[in-house]
Structure formats: C-alpha cells, structure tokens
Copies of this chain bind each other. A is one copy, B any other.
Amino acid sequence: MKTTTPPLESCCAPDDERVDLRPVEGDDADEELASLSKAIGHPARVKILRILVRRNSCICGDIVDELPLAQSTVSQHLKVLKDAGLIRGDVDGPRVCYCIEPRSLRRLKALIGGL
C-alpha cells in the first residue's frame, strides 16, 4: 500500500552508531580535522548545522527562511557542508531533505577531543 505523498517522514537514515576506529592524530587526521573545521568556519554554516541538529527530523529549504541570505548563497553553504561530509541531502520530490551525518559529527568531536 502506497500513500501518494508521505508527509514529512524521516528521510535521514537512523544513526548506525558504529565506532570510528581511525586515529585522531597523524597527517591524515590533521587534514581531516582541518577540512571539517574549515567547513564550519562560517557563522551561517554553524547556524545551518544547529538547525539540522535541533530538528532531527530533516529539513529541506526552510533553512533559507531562517537565514538572512539569498537562496543561492544558502545553497552554496549547504554544498560546502555536504562536500565536507557533515550533512546529507536526499531528494524528495521537488524538494531536498537535508540532515546531519551523525558519524561525521562524532568524528569531528573525536578529532577535537584528540587535541
């Protein structure tokens, strides 16, 4: 049985909770930490992350309404976060549903904690 349009279901896959075994030091870790940090090195992107964390139900372009930026600019910031692996965007009809990638966020916390 198929409903025509599921209202706002969780497009975000559940967190797999797997433990990350990669080291938190060394050249690779340095590059990774720098890359992740650069991605959140802008206030707008921090705000986007917070929005997505707050509503664990994932959100499409309502983010644009919450930020004082043009739609294209927000889209650029979303791309930066997505390229860094911090968020994911799933196409849902004409919209795109963004959600955080819990594994990457945990990885970032581990790397920062390793300092």
Contacts and interface: CB of A to CB of B under 8 A. Distances in A.
Interface string A46-72: 110110010000000000000000000
A6 B100 CA distance: 48
A10 B11 CA distance: 53
Identical chains in the assembly: 2
A45 B34 CA distance: 8
A109 interface: yes
Given A108-B112, A115-B105, A46 B25 contact: no
Nearest to A109: B112
How big is chain A's contact interface, by range?
A: 20 to 34
Contacts of A20: none
A30 B46 CA distance: 6
6 contacts: A30-B46, A33-B46, A34-B42, A38-B42, A50-B115, A109-B115
